[in-house]
Structure 1
Amino acid sequence: MGTDADHLHHLLLELVRTAEFALLDELLPGRVLSMSQLLAIHELDLHTGISQRELAERLGLEKSSVSRLVADLEVDGLLTRQRDPDNRRIYRLDITEQGRRLHRDAAGVLHERYERWASAMTEDERAGLAVGIPALLRVMHADRHEAG
């Protein structure tokens, strides 16, 4: 088991190291996005009106990191931030039309990349990923909940 865990460890480190560059490199011409920004836009397009705290939980980031992230996205015109009328301590976040457009464009480019990568793999390789990735995510989520 040790050798398998070591091999998986190295593969996962290489995947994480490569993923952000492979996913975000020239994603949209003239637009630099971090993985956190892209994930935040995705969450806000799916869940309108969530609080900054909820966004932090969904992204697995500290509140201070999300506060800076939200401020940057607001300056870029990708979201709006308004105080909750029922609880003035809470900010509610809504994606703007520009944010929706960015999400849609980025999703289209990423989908094309995923299709290209999948078509370069064999059927067995794709089937292995389709089983292995959900299994890995399942145990990672379970481990995170046990630790938290």
Structure 2
Amino acid sequence: MHGTTEEGAAMDAEADHLHHLLLDLVRTAEFALMDGLLPGRELSMSQLLALHELDHRPGLSQRELAAGLGLEKSSVSRMVADLEANGLVERHRDPDNRRLYRLAITAEGRRLHRRAAEVLHERYQRWAAAMTPGEREGLAAGLPALLRVMHADRHDHG
């Protein structure tokens, strides 16, 4: 509850401004991140995130990968099949539970993930260098705060 009507109106205006900024960020982000990332390779943001997870957390099941990515199991199943067909991921039966498959990133998948991470890091450095120190400081403080409240809201209402 806002203390005054004026404070409430200011908060509504700030929320509306943030809403528009976040929509623009979402629209721009995938193109800015993925465009020309790996010439000659078609890779979606979800696939890149899956390779990242599997490079850092080997042996995940499809269910665990889906939970880690916040995606539906059926979507991850199709994505893993595509990654497997492209030689980036392998599926192996879990010896302790034959109903489960464990996922492993292949050497090619690891190479692709590492190359993408290098290119993205170069982009992040270029973007950060184009910002003022105050802008970088504000972003470094504001983004973690926004992520914290978004995660809490998702947990509370998801």
TM-score band by shorter chain is: over 0.9
Distance 1:117 1:143 in 2: 29
Give 1:33 shift. Answer: 1.1
In our comparison, the structure showing a higher alpha carbon Rg is 2
Distance 2:43 2:135 in 1: 30
Higher RCO, 1 vs 2 (CA within 8 Å, ≥6 residues apart): 1
Give 1:89 shift. Answer: 1.6
Distance 2:156 2:22 in 1: 21
**Match of 1:136?**
146
Total equivalences in the alignment: 148
Distance 1:37 1:54 in 2: 15
Give 1:124 shift. Answer: 0.2
Greater shift, 84-93 or 62-71, is seen at 84-93
- Structure 2: segments with no counterpart, 5+ residues: 1-10
**Match of 1:109?**
119
1:84 aligned onto 2:84: no
Percent identity over the alignment?
76
Distance 1:81 1:125 in 2: 44
TM-score w.r.t. the length of structure 1 is 0.98
1:42 aligned onto 2:56: no
- Structure 1: segments with no counterpart, 5+ residues: none
TM-score w.r.t. the length of structure 2 is 0.92
Distance 1:32 1:15 in 2: 22
Distance 2:30 2:43 in 1: 10
Structure 2 residue matching 1:40: 3-state secondary structure: helix
Structure 1 residue matching 2:104: 3-state secondary structure: strand
Give 1:91 shift. Answer: 1.0
